Chain A
Amino acid sequence: MAAFALFGTLASLAPLVIQWANYTSPLYAFENSYVVDKFSIILKGLFILITYLTFLLSINFIESDKYYQGEYYYLLLSSLLGALVVSSSRDLLTIFIGIELASTPMFLLSGWKKGDRKSNEGAIKFFLLGVLSASLILYGFSLIYGLTGQLVFSEISTYLLLNALGDSPVLLLSSILVISGIGFKISVVPFHSWAPDTYEGAPLPITAYLSVSSKATGFVALIVLLTKVFATSGQSWGVILAIISGATMTLGNLVALQQSNPVRLLAYSSISQAGFIIAPLAVAGITGNYQDGIFASVTYLIIYAFMNLGAFLSIHLFSNFAGSDNFYDWGGIAKHSPLAGVLTTVFFFSLAGIPPLGGWFAKFVVFRSLLSTGEIVGISLAIIGAINAVIALVYYARISKVIWMDELKNPEQEQTFEFQNPLKVVGAFTVLITFIAGVFPGIFSYLGEVSSIFFGN
């Protein structure tokens, strides 16, 4: 079953490659509500790869408990389908279906460990807030529909333009509702409270998927909606998003400093990283420089996805080996498996943004887009971001410190370090991307053109 799911995911890359090779101009379907452009092809590739890696992460876990293998893969694949729909949809209904299709299976998957109270608690929280967020998004959409009578993005913006409704308060209210709704999905402050509990309760591969793919889906939906529908009221939502972004980076970081559970640490770290990802969008809204903003956000998103998956892989390895969910118990553990130790170091310092690991380029393009116009909001966010990058280093470095520098807890431990082959593939793949992104960030250059095309049409 695992093999089938893996094969299917990989096979679905094939049409993407063909589309990419034969690409001339964006293809529209269903009366402009569905599009195949380079932007969507790249994101689809990203989603498929993430899901593939998640499957690899899951194999050993899912085989160790006997029940519902089929359902597990089925639900994850459904979520993938939702993510794919989001990247291509260009009308309100399709994108809503995509968003919900991507997140609904996750309600079930996050409660996968049936007998575990934490898992149940996390799933319930996630479910309740997920429903709330869906209704906020829908409410926002209904306002636009009421205002314009249109569902397709291109027609909405034409209508807004023709009727000079660009700065209508209804549009602004609608954008605020949508930002709040999607804010839950991407867990930005103040909509983040579910994330640490759910992350902690869910099986680790699912947590990895939640923090990477679900988040990315939310970001893509946000990018599409903000640029295609709400661009005209960017001055106003830009400021709101900027405040959210600053608060998210800072709060996520400060709380992450206190964590001793590696999953909760990564949960808060990913909250903080979300602040970095939306910062360029906020400034783009204010200045209208969407091209740099989207380039920065998407680049960050891609690099973040792989290094964060890698980080989850490494804590998965070590918490299994040490049998402890408190990383302070992992003293000197890297001596049992220097390979896993090096991987952990690479991923966590990449998250911290230390060259030559990929994370530095992600942070760099974000700073670059924040400073692109010399707007005061952008400069303030850049300064907040710089301070946060330093704070974050403290807790990212702490894991490496514990596993390399602390004394070995029980040197006599005879237990062999298990590093199964599927996990090795995940490690190799993510570490490769992390290094390539850091040393040859030129490969992201095409994203610059892609985002200009994306915003142009």
Chain B
Amino acid sequence: MELLTNGIGLTAVVFLPIISALVLTAIPKSQELLIKGFALVSSIVTFVLSVLLLPQFDFSNADKLQLGNKITWIKSINANYEIGIDGISLPLLILSTFITVLAIVYSIEHLPEPKSPKGFLALILVLETGMNGTFVALDLILFFVFFEIVLLPMYFMIGIWGDKTVRSVAGFKNQIETRLYASIKFFVFTLFGSAFMLLGFLGLYYRGNKTFSIPELIELGTSGAFTGTFATLVFAVLFLGFAVKVPMWPLHTWLPDAHTAAPTVGSVLLAAILLKLGSYGFIRIAIPILPEQAKAWAPAIAILSAIGIIYGSLACLAQTDLKRLIAFSSVGHMGFVMLGIASLTPIGINAAIIGMVAHGVITGLLFFLSGSMAHTYHTRDMGRLGGNMKLLPKTGALLGFTAMASLGLPGLAGFWGEFMALLGAFNPLEGLNVTIFRSSMVAGAIGTVLTAGYLLWMLQRVNLGEPSEEWNEMELHDADGYELAAWIPLVILTILIGVFPKLIFGATNDAVVSLLTKAFGG
């Protein structure tokens, strides 16, 4: 077990997927079964490895970075291969390895067109390396590299396997396929944010004794090394980089396009993990390194989050496309996460992390369901769907359950993140403008009502009522074994986290409290 604790375990969790992806490309195309089997096995091994780390992780010291290592990587600029996890990153890392397994399970029988299992599965595995790496990286440059590695696979996933509907888009002369527009928009938005984020990292490097190490920079930051205009600018660019990824209103416009256009598994991974890279960046980097600036920006972040919550819900009410509705619901849910972060209190940030995990599980499942339904019905238009409970009882029941979880029903995972984020905003960190936060809280509370509204309305339109006649002729297949195998674990997790939120808080709470104590004292 020594092997797992000195950084090798974490390294394996990060790099096993990309190595498997390379091996995968060497398998001849005709061996389809072998390709799928190999991808599945390697994702399961990665997941098991990440679970094996749990007993090694010292939960009584969850605020300390553990199981890591530090090796020289780029000597000339003092960037190191520094990794480690604490209570904040642990749940996210396991979520990432877990969702990847489910994504691959689902893909075994449900590959999007054009069918090419090799390329598709290899991209998922490369994506996993980027996601896992971001959660364990403790060096800004390493973080940046992993943060960016996810772009290429996702770009191709959306662009090659995405939605082929042709539509006209403002700014384009000719009509363009949704997937092409969405993929480049996703790429350009994210790169725009991260290019500036990199400049911010360099700024910290030069003011901070030429180190990229996050723990060292946190020490410097909390002892007041970064101040004045410099710190304001750096926080601004970090904000840009992370907020695009989250995404926060008004930088969110890539999200509905990308999520709607992506193939089912792509949307699941985007919603479940990729969005979390942004909010994780706030918790891991922006706030602890620049606490004073975080305090100064917090009201603005709270207001933007509140706008995001209301805007996301209103946009959902206006959707006719099932998948696009779920995409917009992410804007709202991530708004709660950011509202929790903005409060800068233990409650708020714990809420943010459990909210991230819950959103990953619930929205991931929603995208699975809507993707599968779109595949069965060949439409996502809610006007034509209806009576789904009668046509596809299993899928319909799951959709009902997940919608309840998503609207924050107590007892299910979604409840804790929303409720505690509002609680955090009611009583933000001392010194923050209470009026702004309480107004944001009220807006958030209205948002929960709207969220319930659009989800219930969606259920009414899709699940209930009589099926339209156009489906009479068609043979509709309800969820098969592979689909259930991918979905049921998420259902169980939703209930588990809902009933025992301590599963998450047990890991996060100490780390969050210590982070905030270091940053803001007392």
Known: A360-B145, A404-B160, A442-B72. A368 touches B202 (CB 8 A): yes
Q: Is A397 an interface residue (CB 8 A)?
A: yes
Taking the nearest CB of chain B, how far is it from the CB of A195, in angstroms?
26
B126: nearest chain-A partner, CB-CB: A356
Q: Which residues of B contact A368 (CB under 8 A)?
A: 77, 202, 205
Assess A367 versus B199: contact at CB under 8 Å? Given A354-B148, A355-B145: yes
Q: Does A389 lie at the interface of the complex (its beta carbon under 8 Å from any beta carbon of B)?
A: yes
A-B contact number at CB 8 A: 81
Secondary structure class of chain A's binding surface, majority of residues: helix
Q: Are B149 and A442 in contact (CB under 8 A)?
A: no
A371 at the interface (CB under 8 A from B): yes
Contact B76 A445 (CB under 8 A): yes
Give every chain B residue within 8 A of A441 (Cβ-Cβ).
Answer: 74
Does A448 touch B at the CB level, under 8 Å? yes
Tell me if B249 counts as interface (CB < 8 A to partner A). no
Which B190-237 residues have C-beta < 8 A from chain A? 191-192, 195-196, 198-199, 202-203, 205-206
User: A295-B76, A445-B74 known; A405 and B180 CB under 8 Å?
Assistant: yes
Cα separation A445 to B72 with both chains bound (whole Å): 12
**Contact between A442 and B76 (Cβ–Cβ < 8 Å)?**
yes
* A374–chain B nearest beta-carbon distance, Å: 7
Q: Are A444 and B187 in contact (CB under 8 A)?
A: no
- Structural contact, B191 and A389, CB atoms closer than 8 A: yes
User: Complex formed: what's the CA distance from A413 to B144 in Å?
Assistant: 43
Bound-state Cα–Cα, A390 to B205, Å: 23
Is B188 part of the binding interface, using a Cβ–Cβ cutoff of 8 Å? yes
The reply to whether the CB of B397 lies closer than 8 angstroms to some CB of chain A is no
Minimum CB–CB distance from A335 to chain B (whole Å) comes to 9
Which residues of B have CB within 8 Å of A361?
A: 74
A442–B151 CA distance with the chains assembled, in angstroms: 23
Please tell me if B426 contacts chain A, counting CB pairs below 8 Å.
no
Q: Which residues from 71 to 130 on chain B have a C-beta closer than 8 Å to any C-beta of chain A?
A: 72-77
- A386 contacts B195, C-beta separation under 8 Å: yes
Cβ A360 vs Cβ B76 within 8 A: no
- A354-B148, A355-B145, A404-B159 are contacts. A397–B74 as well, Cβ < 8 Å? no
Q: Are B145 and A397 in contact (CB under 8 A)?
A: no
Are A405 and B179 touching (Cβ within 8 A)?
Answer: yes
Chain A residues near B149 (CB-CB < 8 A): 355-356
Q: Would you give the 0/1 interface string for B484-496, flagging 1 where the beta carbon is closer than 8 Å to chain A?
A: 0000000000000
Q: A356-B149, A394-B188 are in contact. Are A401 and B202 (CB under 8 A)?
A: no
Please report the C-alpha to C-alpha distance between residue A383 and residue B197 in the assembled complex, in whole angstroms: 11
Q: Which of A405, A445, A446 has the most CB of B within 10 A?
A: A405
- Are B198 and A390 within 8 A (Cβ)? no
Q: Determine the residue in chain A with the shortest Cβ distance to B161.
A: A405
Give the docked Cα–Cα distance between A368 and B79 (Å).
12
Supposing A355-B145, A383-B199, A386-B196 touch, asked if A401 and B184 sit within 8 A by C-beta, the answer is yes
Question: Could you say which residues of chain B place their CB within 8 Å of the CB of A360?
Answer: 145, 148
| CB-based contact B75/A390 at 8 Å | no
Contact check, B156 vs A404: say whether CB atoms are below 8 A apart: yes
Query: Given contacts A355-B149, A386-B195, is CB(A371)–CB(B203) below 8 Å?
Result: yes
Residue-wise interface mask of A (298-322) relative to B, using a CB-CB cutoff of 8 A (1 in contact, 0 not): 0000000000000000000000000
B interface: dominant SS: helix
Interface contact A394-B192, CB-CB below 8 Å: no
- The answer to whether B77 touches A405 (Cβ under 8 A) is no
Q: Binary interface profile of A, 358-396, with partner B (CB < 8 Å = 1, else 0)? A: 001100110110011010000000110011011001100
B199 & A386 in contact (Cβ 8 Å cutoff)? yes
Q: Which of A264-297 contact B (CB under 8 A)?
A: 295
Contact across chains for B152 and A371 when beta carbons are under 8 A apart = no
Is the CB of A349 closer than 8 A to any CB of chain B? yes
Tell me if A447 is interfacial: C-beta within 8 Å of chain B. Answer: yes
Contact indicator A442/B74 (Cβ below 8 Å): yes
A364 to chain B: closest residue by CB: B198
Asked if A367 and B198 make an inter-chain contact with CB atoms under 8 angstroms apart, the answer reads yes
Pair B184/A355 contact, Cβ less than 8 Å? no
A386 to B77, CA, bound (A): 20
Within the complex, which residue of A367, A389, A394, A397 is in contact with B155, where a contact is CB–CB below 8 Å? Answer: A397
Q: Which residue of the partner chain, among B145, B152, B184, B202, contacts A367 with CB atoms under 8 Å? A: B202
On chain B, the residues within 8 Å of A446 by CB distance are: 76
**Are A405 and B160 touching (Cβ within 8 A)?**
yes
**Considering the chains assembled together, what is the distance between the CA atoms of A368 and B187 in angstroms?**
23
Instruction: Give chain A residues whose Cβ lies under 8 Å from the Cβ of B159.
Output: 401, 404-405
Q: Are B75 and A442 in contact (CB under 8 A)?
A: yes
Query: CB distance A401 to B180 under 8 Å?
Result: yes
Q: How far is the CB of A384 from chain B (nearest CB, A)?
A: 11
Q: A401-B159, A442-B75, A444-B76 are in contact. Are A390 and B195 (CB under 8 A)?
A: yes
Contact A393 B76 (CB under 8 A): no
Give Cα A387–Cα B149 distance, bound, in whole angstroms: 20
Q: How large is the interface on A (under 10, 10 to 19, 20 to 34, 35 or more residues)?
A: 35 or more
Nearest chain-B residue to A447 (Cβ)? B76
Is A448 touching B76 in the complex (CB atoms < 8 A)? yes
| CB–CB A349/B152 < 8 A | yes
Q: How far is the CB of A31 from chain B (nearest CB, A)?
A: 34
Cβ contacts under 8 Å, A390 to chain B: 188, 191-192, 195
Residues on A with C-beta less than 8 A from B192 are 390
Cα of A374 to Cα of B156 in the assembled complex, Å: 38
* Alpha-carbon separation in the docked complex, A354 to B72 (Å): 22
Judging by beta carbons under 8 Å apart, are B187 and A393 in contact?
Answer: yes
| In the bound complex, CA of A383 to CA of B192 (Å) | 11
| Residues of chain A contacted by B144 (CB below 8 angstroms) | 355
A residues less than 8 Å from B202 (CB atoms): 367-368, 371, 382
* Residues from chain B with Cβ under 8 Å of A445 in the complex: 74-76
Question: Complex: how many Å from CA A413 to CA B37?
Answer: 33
Q: How far is the CB of B154 from chain A (nearest CB, A)?
A: 12
Chain B, residue nearest A439 (CB): B145
Residues of the B chain whose Cβ atoms lie less than 8 Å from the Cβ of A295: 76
- Residues from chain B with a CB closer than 8 A to the CB of A371 are 199, 202-203, 206
CA A386 to CA B145, docked complex, whole Å: 16
Q: How far is the CB of A305 from chain B (nearest CB, A)?
A: 19
What residues of chain B lie closer than 8 Å to A387, measured between beta carbons?
195
Nearest chain B residue, comparing its CB with the CB of A346: B152
> Do residues A397 and B203 form an inter-chain contact, with CB atoms below 8 A?
no
Taking the closest CB of chain A, its distance from the CB of B277, in whole angstroms, is: 14
B153 to chain A, nearest CB (A): 11
A386 — which chain B residues lie within 8 A by C-beta? 195-196, 198-199
The minimal Cβ–Cβ distance linking B182 to chain A, given in whole angstroms, is 11
Q: Give the distance in Å from the alpha carbon of A382 to the alpha carbon of B76 in the complex.
A: 20
Q: By the criterion CB–CB under 8 Å, are A442 and B73 in contact?
A: yes
Establish whether residues A372 and B160, one from each chain, have CB atoms under 8 Å apart when the complex forms: no
Encode contact with A along B134-147: 1 for CB under 8 Å, 0 otherwise.
00000001001100
Tell me, rounded to whole Å, the shortest Cβ–Cβ distance linking A345 to chain B: 8
Q: Given the complex of chains A and B, what is the CA–CA distance between A220 and B516 in angstroms? A: 51
Q: Which of B76, B183, B184 has the most CB of A within 10 A?
A: B76
Report the Cα distance A360→B155, complex, angstroms. 17
CB proximity to A under 8 Å, residues B424-474: none
Q: Please measure, in the bound complex, the distance between the C-alpha atom of A368 and the C-alpha atom of B78, giving whole angstroms.
A: 12
CB distance from A432 to the nearest CB of B (A): 14
Name the B residues within 8 Å of A389 (CB-CB). Answer: 191, 195
The 28 sampled A-B contact pairs (Cβ below 8 Å) are A360-B145, A368-B205, A371-B202, A371-B203, A386-B198, A386-B199, A389-B191, A389-B195, A390-B191, A390-B192, A393-B187, A393-B188, A393-B191, A394-B188, A397-B184, A401-B180, A401-B183, A401-B184, A404-B156, A404-B160, A405-B159, A405-B180, A442-B73, A444-B76, A445-B74, A445-B75, A446-B76, A447-B76
**Interface of A with B (CB < 8 Å)?**
295, 349, 354-356, 360-361, 364-365, 367-368, 371-372, 374, 382-383, 386-387, 389-390, 393-394, 397, 400-401, 404-405, 440-442, 444-448
Which residues of chain B have a CB within 8 Å of any CB of chain A?
72-77, 141, 144-145, 148-149, 151-152, 155-156, 159-160, 179-180, 183-184, 187-188, 191-192, 195-196, 198-199, 202-203, 205-206
The 3 closest A-B pairs by CB, nearest first: A445-B76, A386-B195, A448-B76
Q: 4 new A-B pairs (CB below 8 Å) besides A386-B199, A394-B184, A404-B159?
A: A355-B149, A393-B191, A447-B76, A448-B76
